[in-house]
Amino acid sequence: MEIEFARMGIVYLHLIACCVAIGLVLTSDIAMVKQLFKADPADRLDSKHLSELQTTVSRALIALWITGVAIISLDASIKGWGYFANPKLQSKIAIVTLLTVNGFALHKYVLPLMQKAGSLLKLSFNQRMLAIFTGAVSGVSWFYAAMLGIGRPLNWKYSLLEILAAYPVLIVGGFVSMALLTAWSQRKSSATCRRSSTPTTRASAAQRSTTAPAT
């Protein structure tokens, strides 16, 4: 009975850590998509928000690992080594491991670039593709891991490949969608800049012509 209550408490902390991370990732992604739809060259992401996002998600991921290892250890102590043969458990461990590696790349390379540039549109092509890919992996991985966390009907019924079949498809879909949206936003932003600079250019030319000395 004491083990059951201990497990319930750990699962509760595990769930909170997951919800905090997913909530922050989702709100950050929505803010970025809104910025891309606006396509305003002067619009910048909040650098302070990005810094807080980086810190909070990192702590949530650490808490997720600690509570996850604790849950697995408790279950394995009761069910034995055969517990690790569950394809659903293997899938979740694989995704969280990939999420951790991807999170390192995000926090080490992508977020500092975003803080400096202020917008996805102001990154170079290679930097932008890296940001979009790691962002797609992050978003899909968090939601996929959460789905596996509550997916009791998946236990022992499907193979590892069957459970993970949709995972790369969703990543590719997210990457392609964001790449297309970014390309559209960049074209719209460039057109806006050209339209705003044209009246200024004409006014400058007119002013030069009126102030030019007569010959």
Residue 104: pLDDT band (50, 70, 90) is confident
Mean pLDDT in residue range 128-153 = 88
Q: How confident is the model at residue 115 (pLDDT cuts 50, 70, 90)?
A: confident
- pLDDT at residue 73 above 60? yes
Report the pLDDT value the prediction gives residue 94, as an integer from 0 to 100.
92
Q: In which band, very low, low, confident or very high, does the pLDDT at 97 lie, cut at 50, 70 and 90?
A: very high
Which residue, among 163, 141, 144, has the nearest Cα to 153 in the 3D structure?
163
Residue 155 Rama label (left phi>0; alpha psi -120 to 50; beta): beta
5-30: average pLDDT: 85
Stretch among 80-84, 113-117, 147-151, 180-184 having the lowest mean pLDDT = 113-117
Whole-prediction pTM: 0.78
| Residues 124, 159 contacting (CB under 8 angstroms) | no
**Considering Cα of 98, then 23, then 132, then 174, what sign does the dihedral take?**
positive
> Of all residues in the chain, what percent are helix, strand and coil, respectively (each to 5)?
90, 0, 10
Phi/psi at 21 (5° precision): -65, -45
**What's the pLDDT at 31?**
78
Instruction: Give, for 95, the enclosing helix (H) or strand (E).
Output: helix 87-105
Residue 36 pLDDT greater than 90, yes or no: no
Using the Cα atoms of residue 140, residue 145, residue 150 and residue 154 in order, give the sign of their dihedral: positive
- Structure-model confidence comparison of residues 85 and 152, the more confident one: 85
pLDDT at 215: 44
Rounded to the nearest integer, the mean pLDDT of the chain is 81
203 confidence band (pLDDT: 50, 70, 90) = very low
Apex 105 CA angle, 169 and 50, nearest 5: 100
pLDDT tens string 171-199: 999 999 999 988 888 787 777 666 665 55
Calculate what percentage of the chain has a pLDDT beyond 90: 14
